[in-house]
Amino acid sequence: MFPLPHLALKPREKLETGFLLPLRNIVLLPGVTLPVVAGRPRSVSVAESVMMTEQKQVIIAAVRPEAVQKLEKEEKAEIESLEELYPIATLAVVHKMLRLPVGPIQLIIEGQERVRIEQLLQTEPTYIVKFERLPNLTVEAAIAAGAQQQSIQALTSALKSLWQEAASLNPNFPEEVLTVLLNIESPAQLAYQTAILLQQEVPKMQTLLEQNDLELLLRQVLADLQKEIEVLRLRGEILGETKKEIDQQQKEFFLRQQLKKIQEELGEVDSEKQEIEELRSRLATANLPEPAEKQAKRELARLERIGSASAEGGVIRTYLDWLLEMPWNKTIEDNLDLQNAREVLDADHYGLSKIKDRIIEHLATFKLKRMARNEDTETEKPERHDERYSVGTVICFVGPPGTGKTSLGRSIARALGRPFERIGLGGLRDEAELRGHRRTYIGAMPGRIVQALHRAGVKNPVIMLDELDKIGMDYRGDPASVLLEILDPQQNYSFRDLYLDLDFDLSQILFIGTANDLSRVPAPLLDRLEIIELSGYSEEEKLAIAEQYLLPRQIEKAGLPANAVQLSTETLRQIIELYTREAGVRKLEQQLGTLCRKVAVRYASGETTPTIVHPEQLEELLGPPHFWREEKRKVSRPGVATGLAWTVQGGEILFVEAVLLPQGKDLTLTGQLGEVMQESAKLAYSYIWSNADALGIDVSAFKSNGLHLHVPAGAIPKDGPSAGVTMVVAIASLLTNQPVRTDTAMTGEIDLSGEVLPIGGVREKVLAARRAGITRIILPKQNEKDLAEVPQDAREKMEFILCDRIEQVLENALVRRQMNQPVV
């Protein structure tokens, strides 16, 4: 038997000794009576010891939540130190102890006053602490400490009236509790009871217990109660609205039933019944595959039950429409005459002979596989998706905008006699766009593939997947993986759209892809594609396309007779040069469209003589030119050289500018150059420094000045090694004070020994130079073979200088003159 501590019997002394019962998840407030459970060995021991004392008093302290977590993690039952407890606790009296035959002891305890625990004297077998009593929160004490009596009164009565409001908002609130609350006289008691009824978390309750200022205590619980009332009010509103909705639905249902009865009595036709009948007869003749038919029947039965006037009925109706209108078994017979295909391609497109050849080859394979399948189906009925009959790859046109990718796809469809549908993939990030949304979503729709098939009305259209290089990916899924599934003959015969929720056979669709930039097409997709590259057109090709295709088409579109607009070759040339600067012919077509519409206005107002457009009239009809020949002017000072670049838009010319800085010794680079391009700049700089003598350059320029190399336009990122040659020329031009020839552009990679290495995109670069009015091009010798790709007119009108050493480049690029001779 352990010695009994002397409990709370010495009011003269400040510190007293008492038993401690630590509680998890409970804060006991003064004046509040609670049942608690003592199950752990030390708590049982405390309970038993307390019951042996006369006053039956015990200190109740809450265990800190972080200590509770730690104890649980470490699987410990008992606390061991004061740090694990909140030091402000409550002195309580045990009214009753209930000991059951099995299980823990139950105690009924009532909080009496607040105390501060000073020391944990003993932990085993019972907890014993030293504590100090804290002053009670009475009105008198509060007034003595400076509080206003009126404000305490006002807060107390506000609290009571809020309780009345809370009770009125909650029909389950017991009336006796409200009566008790309204009759509490002590403001502190009212506050503590409020806190208990609001059932707040331990830390929050503990702050209330620790509050020494009565007025603040009242304000805190008042705010909490107000919040609770707000929640009650909102809940009431929400419940009210939902109920109203349900009532409305029920009312509609009964009214509809009544209407049906009345109509039956009057012998009138029920419009809903009629609708169901109509759907049923459509279903009977739709010839759906078995799973689709089953699904349709199930949904029809549901519609009959629910009625189509309800919201749910509307959803089912739309779904049934989609199901019945899909071309499950409808195909169109192909025209596989290759001669006809060639004629159609020629009729729609100028030139592009190699590309047309590739298309015809693809169609030939397609035809042979089809014939093989047709023969075999007569004998062995192979699976639709049998490997032997799949064309395998999907053709994909890659090239700058406006070079005819989409229109070639359209021509293929026309040649085969199939409908053509285009699916733009630009900016697509959500898998659901392709695969559809489940019907459980509000406003759900099938994906774009199913929509395209629905529009086409047959299951074997030509579908163009436009801009394969612009698909994205994010948390909504990976559209590229859906595309893979769509294009894979092993999978696409049973493509599942989430809206239809049925398999659809996509294997008979002829897919064609397009992209501007091959490097951005996801790699797994690339494996499935047979790439056909289109490049930009030369000026002569553009002239021919405009004369033979674009202008007649635009004249017809504007509703004019065939000869209404006549353009001389010179006029067309000026439109190409001054109003468009592009690899393709999209803008050219737009400008011709604008011109035709202007003429259409004249025609419509009665001037019906054919309009011959001369170059001088262009400004009046199309506005001021969009481009000038400013490039030539710019390159006339030493330190500026014209380079050639390849971009997704086609070729472009770019300038490399070099200036000496008065101070520093380093190389400064600007113009958003990529890593490879920065390396080219460093190579150029090092090459010139190390060969300064041979090039006739004063080395002191390097020693005492910094060099700044800039490639406008600074906001456009640029990269690649092919500007190496241009950078050497720009630096050499600056340091020898010899300008670069204004009619010359160059491209080529360099190495430290001064070799000129080959580059890519020759055709596009040459065409870009030609568009910019350049007549001489310096190219790496190893690129000579690529000149065969350059259109003949450009080849004839331009001079090509092929170099394998940088000295040859400098020799041909710089305007040789004596030092100090004025710049030409």
Ligand X SMILES: Nc1ncnc2c1ncn2[C@@H]1O[C@H](COP(=O)(O)OP(=O)(O)OP(=O)(O)O)[C@@H](O)[C@H]1O
Q: Which residues are annotated as a binding site for ATP?
A: 399-406
Which of 127, 192, 319, 350: binder of ligand X (CB under 6 A)?
A: 350
Q: How many CA atoms, within 13 angstroms, populate the side-chain half-sphere of residue 242?
A: 6
Applying CB under 6 A, which part among 400-408, 439-447, 496-504, 805-813 lies near ligand X?
400-408
In the bound state with ligand X, the residue whose beta carbon lies nearer, of 409 and 739, is 409
Q: Is 406 in the site for ligand X (CB under 6 A)?
A: yes
Residue 634 annotated as catalytic = no
- How many residues touch ligand X under the rule CB under 6 A: the total is 19
In the bound state with ligand X, the residue whose beta carbon lies nearer, of 446 and 584, is 584
Binding residues: 399-406
Q: CB of 578: closest distance to ligand X in angstroms?
A: 19
Q: Is 420 in the site for ligand X (CB under 6 A)?
A: no
Q: What is the DSSP letter of 494?
A: G
Q: CB of 341: closest distance to ligand X in angstroms?
A: 16
Pair of tokens at residue 242 = 């939902």
Cα distances (Å, whole numbers) of residue 511 to 97, 398, 412, 418, 460:
82, 15, 11, 12, 10
Q: Is 516 in the site for ligand X (CB under 6 A)?
A: yes
Which of 307, 327, 351, 593: binder of ligand X (CB under 6 A)?
A: 351
334 vs 349: CA distance, rounded Å: 22
Backbone angles phi, psi at 746, to 5 degrees: -145, 160
650: region left, alpha or beta (phi > 0 left; psi from -120 to 50 alpha): left
- Which positions from 585 through 644 interact with ligand X, judged by CB under 6 A? 585-586, 589
User: Which member of 665, 765, 785, 797 is catalytic?
Assistant: 765
Q: Cis before residue 166, ω within 30 degrees of 0? A: no
Q: CB of 403: closest distance to ligand X in angstroms?
A: 4
Radius of gyration, CA atoms only, the chain? 44
488 vs 601: CA distance, rounded Å: 51
- Which positions from 473 through 512 interact with ligand X, judged by CB under 6 A? none
Closest to 220 (Cα-Cα) out of 208, 209, 231, 212: 208
Applying CB under 6 A, which part among 106-114, 150-158, 311-319, 345-353 lies near ligand X?
345-353
In the bound state with ligand X, the residue whose beta carbon lies nearer, of 460 and 516, is 516
Q: Is 718 in the site for ligand X (CB under 6 A)?
A: no
For residue 594, the tally of other CB atoms under 10 A from its CB is 15
In the bound state with ligand X, the residue whose beta carbon lies nearer, of 511 and 549, is 549
Q: Which residue is nearest to ligand X (CB)?
A: 404
In the bound state with ligand X, the residue whose beta carbon lies nearer, of 56 and 414, is 414
Task: Give residue 749's identity as a one-letter amino acid code.
Answer: E
CA angle 492, 481, 289 (to 5 degrees): 25
Residue 741 contacts residue 631 (beta carbons within 8 Å): no
Buried b (16+ CB within 10 A) or exposed e, 532-544: bebbbbbbbbbbb
In the bound state with ligand X, the residue whose beta carbon lies nearer, of 404 and 638, is 404
The packing angle between helices 338-348 and 353-379, to 10°, is 150
User: Where are any strands of DSSP class E within 446-548?
Assistant: 462-466, 495-497, 502-504, 510-515, 529-533
748 vs 760: CA distance, rounded Å: 9
544 vs 551: CA distance, rounded Å: 10
Q: CB of 567: closest distance to ligand X in angstroms?
A: 16
Pair of tokens at residue 309 = 């006037």
- Which positions from 152 through 211 interact with ligand X, judged by CB under 6 A? none
User: Where are any strands of DSSP class E within 123-199?
Assistant: 128-133
Q: CB of 550: closest distance to ligand X in angstroms?
A: 6
Applying CB under 6 A, which part among 346-354, 432-440, 612-620, 752-760 lies near ligand X?
346-354
Q: Is 722 in the site for ligand X (CB under 6 A)?
A: no
In the bound state with ligand X, the residue whose beta carbon lies nearer, of 584 and 754, is 584
Which of 114, 349, 435, 448: binder of ligand X (CB under 6 A)?
A: 349
Task: Give residue 755's identity as a one-letter amino acid code.
Answer: E
In the bound state with ligand X, the residue whose beta carbon lies nearer, of 114 and 349, is 349
Closest to 123 (Cα-Cα) out of 196, 61, 42: 42
- Which positions from 363 through 392 interact with ligand X, judged by CB under 6 A? none
Residue 119 contacts residue 17 (beta carbons within 8 Å): no
- Which positions from 262 through 301 interact with ligand X, judged by CB under 6 A? none
Q: CB of 599: closest distance to ligand X in angstroms?
A: 19
Applying CB under 6 A, which part among 27-35, 68-76, 205-213, 350-358 lies near ligand X?
350-358
Applying CB under 6 A, which part among 27-35, 292-300, 398-406, 597-605 lies near ligand X?
398-406
In the bound state with ligand X, the residue whose beta carbon lies nearer, of 346 and 478, is 346
Cα distances (Å, whole numbers) of residue 176 to 164, 173, 180, 457:
12, 9, 6, 73
362: Cα separation from own chain's centroid: 36
Q: Is 405 in the site for ligand X (CB under 6 A)?
A: yes
Applying CB under 6 A, which part among 97-105, 163-171, 403-411, 734-742 lies near ligand X?
403-411
- In what helix (H) or strand (E) does residue 797 lie, and over which residues does it extend? helix 792-797
In the bound state with ligand X, the residue whose beta carbon lies nearer, of 16 and 466, is 466
Applying CB under 6 A, which part among 336-344, 405-413, 435-443, 571-579 lies near ligand X?
405-413
Which of 155, 352, 482, 794: binder of ligand X (CB under 6 A)?
A: 352
Residue 765 annotated as catalytic = yes
Which of 211, 308, 403, 742: binder of ligand X (CB under 6 A)?
A: 403
- Which positions from 106 through 135 interact with ligand X, judged by CB under 6 A? none
Site map 545..584 versus ligand X, x via CB under 6 A: x---x----------------------------------x
* Pairing mode of beta strands 462-466, 420-424: parallel
Closest to 445 (Cα-Cα) out of 498, 506, 492: 498
Q: CB of 467: closest distance to ligand X in angstroms?
A: 7
User: Which member of 43, 722, 753, 785 is catalytic?
Assistant: 722
Q: CB of 589: closest distance to ligand X in angstroms?
A: 5
Q: For every residue of 565-621, which 3-state class applies, written as one string?
A: EEECHHHHHHHHHHHCCCCCCHHHHHHHHHHHHHHHHHHHCCCCCCEEECHHHHHHH
Q: CB of 395: closest distance to ligand X in angstroms?
A: 14
- In what helix (H) or strand (E) does residue 36 lie, and over which residues does it extend? strand 33-38
Q: CB of 512: closest distance to ligand X in angstroms?
A: 11
Which of 22, 31, 313, 404: binder of ligand X (CB under 6 A)?
A: 404
Q: Cis before residue 125, ω within 30 degrees of 0? A: yes
Q: What long-range pairs does 301-308 form, CB within 8 A, spacing at least 24?
A: 303/276, 303/279, 304/276, 307/253, 307/256, 307/272, 308/272, 308/275, 308/276
Q: CB of 515: closest distance to ligand X in angstroms?
A: 8
In the bound state with ligand X, the residue whose beta carbon lies nearer, of 327 and 401, is 401
Binding site for ligand X (CB under 6 A): 349-352, 401-407, 514, 516, 545, 549, 584-586, 589
Q: Which residues does the annotation mark as catalytic? A: 722, 765
